[in-house]
Structure 1
Amino acid sequence: MGHIHERIDFAVAVFVVEHGRVLLCLHRQLGKWLPLGGHVELDEDPEQAAIREVREESGLEIELWGERPPTTGPGTRALIAPRFMDIHRIHETHQHVGLIYWARPRGGRLTLASGEHQELRWCTPEELETLQPPLDPPIRWYARKALEEVEGISPGPVAGTSASTAS
C-alpha cells in the first residue's frame, strides 16, 4: 500500500529471531539490508501490520516478542508494545514513525517475495559485520539487540567501537 498521509506514516520493522540468527532482506528498490516490514494500513493495528508484512514478505507466521498487558476488556484490546520506536526521513517531504518489533517464527515456509526483495538471509551476529552491502549502523544495532534480548546472545563489541561503547 502507498502512503496514507503525504507527510508522515506509521510503519513496522520486524526483526525475526531464531536459532541465534536474525532474518534480514535485501530490499530490491533500496539496495540495502533491512528487517521485514512496511506501512501500517488504515484498517489494521500495528500488531496486525507486523504479522501481515512478515507473512507477505517471507511466508513465515510469527509471534511477536513482548508482553501483552492484562488490560483487555469491552471496547479495548491490549497490544504488545514495539520494543523501540524511531522517526526517519523517507525523502525531503515524507517521514515514517517506525514501530520496531522482535518476533519468533511459528510456522510457514520461508519464501522470497521477489517483487520486493533480492534475497532473504538468516544472519548470525558475525555475519551482521560482513554483509554486502554493509548494514546501516542502526539496522545492525537493532539486529544485535534483538538477538541479545530474544536469544540471550551477548553481541560483543561492534566493529569500530570500543567494548565500553558497544551496548
Structure 2
Amino acid sequence: MKTDLVAAAYIIHEGKVLLIHHKKLNLWLPAGGHIEQNETPDETIIREIKEELGIEVEILNKSQVPTEGNTKKNLALPFCVNVHSVGDHDHCCFFYICKPKKTEVKIKPDEILAYQWFTKEELTQPKIPKDVQQIGKYALELHENR
C-alpha cells in the first residue's frame, strides 16, 4: 500500500488545542498536510498552518544539538509519529506541538468547514476520532508539564 509522509500540528493556547473540521474527510483533525518534495516537516507545518488557518505558529521542542559538520539545520522533534489509513493509502504522520503567534484564525473554506479550541475534557466528544482524542490529550499533558 502507498504511504505518504505528512505532518500535523496540535496548536495549543491557554490549555486548549485547536482542531479543524476537514471538509473532504468530514473529520475533526489537527491542521497539517503532505510533506512536499524538498520540504522539511517543519516547513510543512509552517506552510500548512498559514494556508489553512491564516496564522503563524512556533513549533515547540526544537532540537538543541549543535549544528556542526554537514548539518545544515536542526528540526523540531515530533512528540508522536504514527501510520494511519486514509482510505486507499496510508499516511506516516509526524505530530508536533505548536503555539500560535496570534489566535485570530481565518479558515480556508474550500478545505475546512470549521475550527474549534478544545479542552482535554472536550476532546472526548464523539465527533472527534479516538486517535485524535488520545494524541490531543497527550499533547496537552506534555505542554502542561513543560
Same fold by TM-score greater than 0.5: yes
The CA RMSD over aligned residues, in Å, is 1.9
Secondary structure of the 2:98 match is: strand
Of 80, 84, 87, 1:88 maps to 84
Out of 28, 37, 50, the residue aligned to residue 32 of structure 2 is 37
* 1:72 has 2:33 as partner: no
Q: Structure 2 regions of 5+ residues with no counterpart?
A: none
- TM score, norm. by length of structure 2: 0.90
Structure 1 length-normalised TM: 0.80
Number of matched residues?
A: 145
Query: Is 1:9 aligned with 2:4?
Result: yes
Larger radius of gyration: 1
Q: Secondary structure at the match of 1:60?
A: coil
Alpha-carbon distance, 1:15 to partner: 0.3
* Moved segments of 4+, more than 6 Å: none
Secondary structure of 2:116's aligned partner:
strand
Mapped to 2, the partners of 1:48 and 1:73 lie a distance apart of: 21
Contact 1:19 / 1:151 at 8 angstroms: preserved in 2? no
Q: In the alignment, which of 20, 24, 43 is matched to residue 19 of structure 2?
A: 24
Structure 1's unaligned 5+ residue stretches are 1-5, 153-167
CA distance in 2, matches of 1:46, 1:33: 21
Q: Which has the higher contact order (CA 8 A, sep 6+)?
A: 2
Of all paired residues, the percent bearing the same amino acid is 31
Separation of aligned partners in 2, 1:46 and 1:120: 22
Structure 2 match to 1:160:
none
